[in-house]
């Protein structure tokens, strides 16, 4: 499991503990995290490029190593990723992902009216 005391994830210990509490399984494939094999290991997932520089609770999650590796280079390109062989094989799509991912996508698409999280940031 993620050890929030190890500061190698680029996020604060506080944020790390918060998302650990929320994401108990992979946010994409719903896999249970394990130390072995490596592909089942929990990893910090930055949902998009801005979240790397500015990690916030609504755009940082925890996913398994295989999902994270598969998402590399497709950060904002969700449709391409959902259409990939990786997702098709594992039956991952916009409806099967964790609520956190659905909420994130709604926010990004501007579908959350008077969104307190994004509005605060944009002011």
In the complex, the residues that contact Zn ion under the rule CB under 5 A are 26, 28-29, 31, 64, 67
**69 or 106, CB closer to Zn ion?**
69
**51 or 68, CB closer to Zn ion?**
68
**34 or 106, CB closer to Zn ion?**
34
In terms of C-beta distances under 8 Å and separation of at least 24 residues, what long-range contacts does 8-17 make, across chains too? 9/44, 10/44, 10/46, 10/52, 10/55, 11/44, 11/55, 11/60, 12/55, 15/55, 15/56, 15/57, 15/60, 16/44
> Least distance from C-beta 65 to Zn ion, angstroms?
8
Angle at 17 between CA 13 and CA 75, to 5 degrees: 85
> Least distance from C-beta 33 to Zn ion, angstroms?
9
> Least distance from C-beta 64 to Zn ion, angstroms?
3
């Amino acid at each position: 499991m993620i050890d929030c005391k190890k500061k190698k994830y680029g996020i604060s210990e506080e944020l790390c503990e918060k998302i650990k509490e929320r994401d108990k399984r992979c946010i994409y494939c719903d896999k249970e995290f394990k130390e072995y094999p490596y592909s089942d290991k929990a990893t910090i997932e930055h949902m998009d490029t801005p979240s790397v520089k500015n990690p916030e609770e609504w755009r940082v999650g925890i996913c398994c190593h295989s999902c994270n590796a598969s998402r590399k280079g497709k950060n904002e390109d969700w449709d391409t990723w959902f259409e990939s062989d990786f997702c098709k094989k594992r039956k991952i799509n916009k409806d099967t992902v964790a609520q956190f991912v659905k909420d994130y996508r709604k926010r990004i698409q501007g579908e959350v009216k008077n969104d307190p999280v994004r509005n605060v940031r944009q002011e």
